[in-house]
Amino acid sequence: MWGALLRRGGRGAGGLRRLVSGGPPWSQVVSEAEKIVGYPTSFMSLRCLLSDELSNIAMQVRKLVGTKHPLLDTARQRSLAEITELIHTAFLVHRGIVNIGELKSCDGPLKDMQFGNKMAVLSGDFLLANACTSLAQLQNTKVVELISSAIGDLVQGIYYENSKSPEESCLTDDISISTWKEQVFLSHSALLAKSCQAAMELAKHSAEIQDMAFQYGKHMSMSHKLHSDLQPFVKESSSDTMAFSLNSAPAVLHQEFLGREAWIKQIREAQGRGNIMDYKKLQEAIKAGKGVTSAIDLCRCHGNSALAALESFPPSEARAALANIVYAVTRFP
């Protein structure tokens, strides 16, 4: 997508509009982006990757190694995108590891759960190893440094997420929204932001353009996380109550407005026997405060910052698609 952004001419959107309510749905945005880049955005589409046509293209691109043909740079952008998704998938697999100490008899036989954990570790490591091998093949020291640092950020972010003991799991952390932002950047935003910057480095663009790509990736992913955190509170059907993290953005902002002691009191009041949380009761308490509206405002603030970064790029279909991604993750009922 980033390669297309700087290669394509003046078709598409002119100035970018600032965020208001509304915008295209996510599925439509992804479909339009796939048309621009010319292939499904997920490398997991095996039918695409294993097709004869793609294999033939790969063979022809391989002949370009050692030349200065621009098609080679295009292939390396795509390779970087697949590396990024490999890393993301590897960490998702690793996050699927369950805490054996918290298992109940209804969860299944212990040996099966232990085997599942082993498979999750090995599968995640396999994907990560393949990503690192492909990363080295890009033969760009700065790109390797950027993506390697993003992997380090992910590890640190996941460590923060899992640093609480099981006894503390029923309570929320005493964190501010600024601390929440720092942790979310590590665990969610760093990989995308640094991958966007690395794409511009591979395309041999200036440090200023690289920074704008970084800013887009950072702020768009922050908006995406805020949008995800808000879903339990903004869904139109009130009957669909889902469990949510007590350290999600609306809850953290609610705590800031309410005060730590009052927030803990609300949590205790929502806990039943056996520390089973009544999420419906707690959800209503959060919705009655300022946390939800503040989180929506913050989501759109990051969205506007992402759109501002896109202003540095020439109008094109690719820029319009990237803007539509922002509109989709800042869209609420």
Give the DSSP letter of residue 275: G
For 72-76, 126-130, 182-186, which range has the lowest pLDDT when averaged over its residues? 72-76
Residue 123 clears pLDDT 70, i.e. is over it: yes
Residue 286 clears pLDDT 50, i.e. is over it: yes
Global pTM value: 0.77
Q: How many CB atoms lie within 10 A of CB 267?
A: 17
* Choice between 64 and 309, residue whose per-residue pLDDT is larger: 309
Residue 180 clears pLDDT 90, i.e. is over it: yes
What pLDDT score does 164 carry? 59
Tokens at residue 175, please?
A: 């964190």
Average pLDDT on 184-206 reads 92
Average pLDDT on 216-237 reads 91
Highest mean pLDDT among 86-100, 208-222, 227-241: 208-222
Contact in structure between 292 and 248 (CB atoms under 8 Å): no
* Choice between 92 and 304, residue whose per-residue pLDDT is larger: 304
Residue 42 clears pLDDT 70, i.e. is over it: no
Dihedral sign from CA coordinates of 144, 150, 153, 154: negative
Residues 6+ apart with CB under 8 A from 305: 215, 219
What pLDDT score does 100 carry? 74
Tokens at residue 103, please?
A: 């298992």
Residue whose entry in the numeric block shows the structure tokens 């370009």: 64
What pLDDT score does 116 carry? 79
Q: How confident is the model at residue 26 (pLDDT cuts 50, 70, 90)?
A: confident
Tokens at residue 186, please?
A: 């590590």
Helix 141-161 and helix 190-202: axis angle, to 10°? 180
Distance (Å, rounded) from C-alpha 218 to C-alpha 211? 10
Distance (Å, rounded) from C-alpha 126 to C-alpha 199? 24
